[in-house]
Amino acid sequence: MRRIQANRAAATYPVVVAGLLHGVGRDGAKAAAAAGDFPTITVGGQTLALADPINKRLGLSGIDDEKVREAYRLAGMKPPPLPESAGSSRPRVKPMARVALAKPASRKRKSRLRNVRKGETTATALR
């Protein structure tokens, strides 16, 4: 399943972050979301608060606002990346694919290989 992080990050806040922006803690944020104090949607079992109504109510400029970034930090979450216009002018670079590393050789195999390098014949060293 594909996830579109950029749109989701710009349009919603986690409920805990929305609660911190309103001045309540983690449990209070979940209770406020259940009571309907701020609009939420549920995506894949995760409840997210809509960002536009919260930004308008609190006078925030969005994800690039310092109060929002501080709320993410207090919630122990990594904030989404800033939009291209607000961030640096460096082009985005795709992450490299993971490379499967070879399994390290066992001690026995290492010693046999060392013996081959010292001059023993392969037949006697790999017995």
**59 has pLDDT over 50:** yes
R_g of the chain computed on alpha carbons:
26
Given this model, what pLDDT does residue 1 score?
44
Question: Cα–Cα distance between 46 and 17 in angstroms, integer?
Answer: 13
**6 has pLDDT over 80:** no
Q: Is the pTM of this model over 0.75?
A: no
CA distances from 31 to 19, 47, 50, 125 (A): 9, 12, 16, 70
**5 has pLDDT over 50:** no
Task: Give the model's confidence band at 95: pLDDT under 50 very low, under 70 low, under 90 confident, else very high.
Answer: low
